[in-house]
């Protein structure tokens, strides 16, 4: 059968294209391509390393804080800077809030429409929707009247004939399994979650001045001051405000997100054996409890799990084993495109060899993506919430174990169900739930420091470039909502000499490497059922379960210091 | 395309009262710098407005402006999407994908010639025939020409869509440009910022629905209501600047008390924006409000002209030359420095000991912005 193309993959950040061969109703082979490139790492060369986080934050406007944090960590690592405890906690709060908000938006606004049929919701009996809602949660809004109002609103909207964002969706597709009442519940919470995320993320605005693209990071700490006696700093009143937002997050996640996830998943249990993919999982670990140098004390542990092995502790992760391949990516290496390169040794130049636009198909035997192919020990890896929950589970993390087991039990599936599209969706929810509890603890931790009179937020010993070594190199990392994120920086004479980011969606969305090994999206799509190739809803389900974020996945730096040829603009 | 729904009615169905609706209209009048009596005009226009089709294109972007849009609170994003406009295409949030998504775009362009708004987010790479950004196999530069060429008007949101933004920062590896250079000659309004503030985009749309016309702009196509004032001129820390009270180190007493961030690299004296008055995220805060300097993200080619971010601007009006900020303290206070150093309040003394600087607003607001101090050459187009 001919190749199927989905481009654009929507409800993601960035530009992603999937080509797939479907035979007898199942995907036989798939290729994932990032179709946009900006060259931020070239742009970073020669700049002030203290500015890098402002630039790299724009890798992505969705997980808007993660590249900023990774960047300051990379520079701090290079310059050997230890940040004050308050800065560590404030960063954890910002980061934790990012995970919570991002996961909720993903579930309701980027992923739910793959499982929830908006049009079917019009047929629901609002009274029965209320009964369903009340049976799974104590959320106070769940009255028949409330669901009736939502239904009317959607009805008026549909009857207007202008369906806007919802026009041309796959409504009525046979793969939709929810009864109308559950669909109405999903639609109501889609709208509610829009309001919720906007309120909750004000915690970022408070700590960072604005969201998206916060503006209070600093190499050496944070710029948001802490002082109980100041009106403009984090004081008792702001701590109280943050506690309120944290409570708001916990309520929504416990009473809306998790019950919805369980309810929807219970209709789609067949997806617990679809979309597993690589079975190899990597985490760098994050949320330092003390210092960044002690990953064994991180809230999310660092490690690698291979071949779906939950029975043994994860193996040790060493960043030196990360390499990137360009065998099927539109870049070239001076000494041959078949070698993998560690980011510090990395050398990359863009060289497009694809078809001239407009084009119908890519040459998937040759180079076919702006994403490189990162590998760990030459092995492709999946990163993200599922990787984090699997590594934590294997490491014996008590909270993760208890919650994962609880969810599996409620769904009536075994641990092997984790290695699937549904597993990815469930892992994200479980992580969000655990994170809401941590968030509250971090705010208390900050308040306790303040009460002790610890107001330090920045270590300025090495703020001025005169205090830096002539040459330095560093690695910054974090667990972004979408997975293990690393920035590698080399500093020379006070300026950035090299900058390289290996991001979660490059791991997951990678094209094949020199040995022909597919990336996580490509592997997970194999065997996915496709009822109607004209409406490939099932492919969207598996791809969306990774929460792709592509803009930050396409990047390049030029290790030789050569200026790339510039093309004259007409 | 017209239908019976209007915003007020739609809001009413959601429990939004007439009073709240009028309050929103009043807020919009103030954001748009219109006299309060215009609230009534806005209200009656919105009541009568059909849902205008809108398509939102994304090219070399990070979706930061989309995220800003998702934070909309007056009206909320669900009100915009369901009640105020007909958002027919928006890759990040639309239901269909692939062919069906393309169909939504085609239908809008074909069925509503010169009858829809186009919003563009992200730069457009012109290099190598457009291979650096393709959607559905088509080059961004071709899509933007077709879609914006047929639109009623185009709104370029964010720094990238305005002047190429981050992708166009030196050495501009993909020859990225903004909409004004990719599709010259169209009806275009620019809303720079990294990202743009959703309050301002709402203002432009409300202005359009009310007056059937785009708001007045400066010579760079930016609406004056949002980009007509230097931050420095109405920054709440301005009193500290004038009195010579500066943050000297991150986390020092001055920093904790909200003194001026000029010495830490604040670009407010060169940034035209209404950030101080409208704030971010429902006016929760804004960058200077959270104690980091302004990075000038609404200024032309700010990635090249406002960096390094932590280096102070020379020649700021108010006290003349750069050296003055230091001299303010050093000369006068030398004798008492030792005594006060332990208390970390050196700048306070400086401020007190110093004659108040003559505070003059630059007569031409733009002049503040034009004094660029590029640290690296901008090779952008
Ligand atoms: S320099 Fe910055 S912080 Fe100081 S008054 Fe001007 S805008 Fe405000």
What does each of the 570 residues of chain A score in pLDDT, given as a tens digit?
Answer: 578 999 999 998 889 999 999 999 999 999 999 999 998 989 999 999 999 999 999 988 787 899 999 999 999 999 999 999 999 999 999 999 999 999 999 999 999 999 999 999 999 999 999 999 999 999 999 999 999 999 998 898 888 888 888 999 999 999 999 999 999 999 999 999 999 999 999 999 999 999 999 999 999 999 999 999 999 999 999 999 999 999 999 999 999 999 999 999 999 999 999 999 999 999 999 999 999 999 999 999 999 999 999 999 999 999 999 999 999 999 999 899 999 999 998 766 899 999 999 999 999 999 999 999 999 999 999 999 999 999 999 999 999 999 999 999 999 999 999 999 999 999 999 999 999 999 999 999 999 999 999 999 999 999 999 999 999 999 999 999 999 999 999 999 999 999 999 999 999 999 999 999 999 999 999 999 999 999 999 999 999 999 998 766 664 333 333 232 222 232
Q: Is B74 on the interface with A (CB under 8 A)?
A: no
Q: Say if CB B200 and CB B72 are below 8 A apart.
A: no
pTM of the model: 0.91
Known catalytic membership, residue A63: yes
A65: left (phi over 0), alpha (psi -120 to 50) or beta: alpha
CB A220 within 8 A of CB A88: no
Ligand 1 pocket check for B266: Cβ under 6 Å? yes
For residue A505, indicate whether it is catalytic.
yes
Instruction: Confirm if A546 and A407 have CB atoms less than 8 A apart.
Output: no
Distance CA B225, CA A125 (A): 48
Q: Is A273 a catalytic residue?
A: no
Nearest CA in chain A to B138: A358
Are the beta carbons of A201 and B3 separated by less than 8 Å? no
Q: Is B159 on the interface with A (CB under 8 A)?
A: no
Chain A: nearest CA to B256, how far in angstroms?
Answer: 5
ipTM of the complex: 0.92
Distance CA B293, CA B282 (A): 20
What phi and psi values does residue A32 have, to the nearest 5 degrees?
A: -115, 130
How far CA A88 is from CA of A93, A483, B174, in Å, comes to 9, 20, 37
Q: Is the distance from CB of B225 to CB of B211 less than 8 angstroms?
A: no
B304 CA to centre of ligand 1 in angstroms = 20
Q: Which residue of A has its CA nearest to B159?
A: A58
Task: Please give the number of the atom of ligand 1 that sits closest to the Cα of B288.
Answer: 3
- Min distance A142 CA to chain B CA atoms (Å): 15
Whether omega before A263 lies within 30 degrees of 0, making that bond cis, reads: no
Q: Is B51 in the pocket of ligand 1 (CB under 6 A)?
A: no
Q: Which two tokens stand for residue B88?
A: 């027919």
| Cα radius of gyration (chain B) | 23
CA distance A59 to B280: 21
Query: Does A541 qualify as catalytic in the annotation?
Result: no
Q: Is B130 on the interface with A (CB under 8 A)?
A: yes
């Amino acid at each position: 059968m001919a190749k199927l193309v989905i481009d654009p993959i929507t409800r993601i950040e960035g530009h992603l294209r999937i080509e797939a061969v479907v035979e007898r109703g199942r995907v036989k082979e798939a290729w994932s391509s990032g179709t946009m490139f900006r060259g931020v790492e070239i742009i970073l060369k020669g700049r002030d390393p203290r500015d890098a986080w402002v630039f790299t934050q724009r890798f992505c406007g969705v997980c808007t804080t993660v590249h900023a944090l990774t960047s300051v960590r990379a520079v701090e690592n290079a310059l050997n800077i230890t940040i004050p405890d308050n800065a560590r906690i404030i960063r954890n709060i910002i980061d934790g809030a990012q995970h919570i908000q991002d996961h909720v938006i993903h579930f309701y606004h980027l992923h739910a429409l793959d499982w929830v049929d908006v049009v079917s919701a019009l047929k629901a009996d609002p009274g029965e929707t209320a009964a369903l809602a009340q049976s799974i949660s104590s959320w106070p809004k769940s009255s028949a009247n409330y669901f009736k109002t939502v239904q009317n609103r959607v009805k008026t909207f549909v009857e207007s004939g202008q369906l806007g964002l919802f026009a041309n969706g796959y409504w009525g597709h046979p793969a939709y399994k929810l009864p109308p009442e559950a669909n109405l519940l999903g639609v109501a919470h889609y709208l509610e979650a829009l309001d919720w995320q906007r309120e909750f993320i004000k915690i970022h605005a408070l700590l960072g001045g604005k969201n998206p693209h916060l503006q209070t990071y600093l190499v050496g700490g944070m710029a948001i001051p802490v002082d109980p006696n100041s009106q403009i700093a984090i004081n008792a009143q702001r701590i109280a405000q943050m506690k309120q937002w944290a409570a708001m997050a916990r309520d929504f996640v416990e009473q809306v997100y998790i019950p919805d996830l369980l309810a929807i998943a219970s209709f789609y249990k067949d997806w617990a054996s679809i979309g597993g993919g690589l079975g190899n999982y990597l985490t760098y670990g994050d949320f330092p409890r003390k210092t960044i140098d002690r990953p064994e004390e991180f809230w999310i542990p660092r490690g690698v799990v291979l071949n779906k092995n939950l029975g043994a502790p994860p193996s040790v992760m060493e960043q030196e084993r990360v390499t990137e391949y360009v065998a099927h990516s539109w870049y070239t290496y001076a000494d041959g495109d078949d070698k993998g390169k560690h980011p510090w040794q990395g050398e990359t130049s863009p060289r497009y060899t694809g078809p001239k636009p407009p084009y119908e198909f890519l040459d998937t035997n040759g180079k076919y993506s702006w994403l490189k192919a990162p590998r760990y020990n030459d092995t492709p890896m999946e990163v993200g919430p599922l990787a984090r929950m699997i590594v934590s589970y294997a490491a014996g993390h008590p909270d993760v174990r208890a919650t994962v087991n609880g969810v599996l039990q409620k769904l009536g599936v075994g641990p092997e169900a984790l290695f699937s599209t549904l597993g990815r969706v469930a892992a994200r929810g479980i992580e969000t739930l655990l994170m809401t509890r941590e968030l509250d603890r971090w705010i208390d931790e900050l308040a306790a420091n303040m009460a002790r009179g610890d107001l330090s937020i920045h270590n300025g010993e090495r703020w001025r470039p005169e205090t830096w070594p002539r040459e330095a190199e560093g690695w910054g990392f974090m667990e972004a909502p979408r997975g293990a994120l690393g920035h590698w920086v080399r500093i020379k004479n006070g300026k950035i000499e090299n900058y390289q980011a290996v991001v979660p969606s490059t791991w997951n969305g990678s094209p094949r490497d020199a040995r022909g090994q597919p990336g996580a999206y490509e592997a997970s799509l194999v065997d996915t059922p496709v009822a109607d190739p004209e409406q490939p809803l099932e492919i969207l389900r598996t791809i969306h379960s990774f929460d792709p974020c592509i803009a930050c996945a396409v990047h390049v730096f030029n290790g030789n210091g050569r200026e790339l040829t510039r093309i004259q603009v007409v | 395309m017209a239908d019976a729904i209007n915003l007020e009615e739609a809001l009413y169905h959601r429990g939004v009262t007439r009073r709240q609706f009028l309050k929103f209209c009043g807020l919009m009048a103030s954001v748009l710098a219109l006299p309060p009596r215009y609230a009534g005009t806005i209200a009656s226009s919105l009541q009568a407005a059909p849902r205008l089709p809108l398509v939102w294109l994304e090219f070399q972007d990070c979706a930061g402006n989309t995220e800003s849009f998702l934070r909309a609170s007056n009206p909320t994003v669900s009100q915009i999407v369901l009640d105020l406009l007909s958002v027919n295409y928006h890759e990040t949030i639309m239901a269909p994908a692939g062919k069906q998504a393309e169909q939504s775009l085609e239908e809008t362009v074909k069925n509503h010639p010169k009858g829809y708004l186009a919003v563009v987010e992200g730069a457009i790479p012109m290099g190598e025939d457009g291979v650096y950004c393709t959607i559905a196999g088509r080059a961004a530069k071709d899509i933007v020409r077709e879609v914006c060429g047929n639109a009623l008007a185009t709104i370029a949101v964010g720094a990238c869509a305005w002047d190429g933004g981050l992708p166009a920062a030196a050495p501009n590896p993909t020859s990225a440009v903004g909409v004004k250079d990719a599709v010259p000659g169209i009806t275009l309004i620019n809303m720079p910022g990294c990202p743009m503030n959703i309050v301002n985009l709402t203002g432009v749309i409300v202005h359009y629905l009310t007056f059937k016309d785009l708001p007045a702009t400066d010579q760079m196509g930016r609406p004056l209501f949002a980009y007509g004032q230097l931050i420095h001129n109405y920054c709440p820390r301005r009193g500290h600047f004038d009195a010579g009270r500066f943050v000297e180190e991150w986390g020092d007493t001055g920093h904790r008390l909200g003194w001026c961030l000029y010495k830490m690299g604040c670009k407010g004296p060169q940034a035209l924006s209404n950030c101080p008055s409208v704030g971010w995220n429902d006016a929760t805060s804004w960058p200077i409000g959270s104690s980091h300097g302004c990075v000038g993200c609404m200024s032309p080619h700010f990635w090249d002209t406002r960096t390094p971010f932590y280096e102070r601007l020379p020649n700021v009006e108010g006290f003349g030359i750069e050296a003055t900020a230091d001299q303010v303290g050093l000369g006068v206070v030398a004798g008492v420095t030792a005594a006060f150093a332990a208390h970390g309040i050196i700048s306070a003394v400086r401020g007190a000991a110093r004659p108040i600087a003559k505070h003059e607003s630059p007569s031409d607001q733009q002049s503040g912005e034009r004094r660029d101090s590029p640290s690296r050459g901008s090779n952008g187009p």
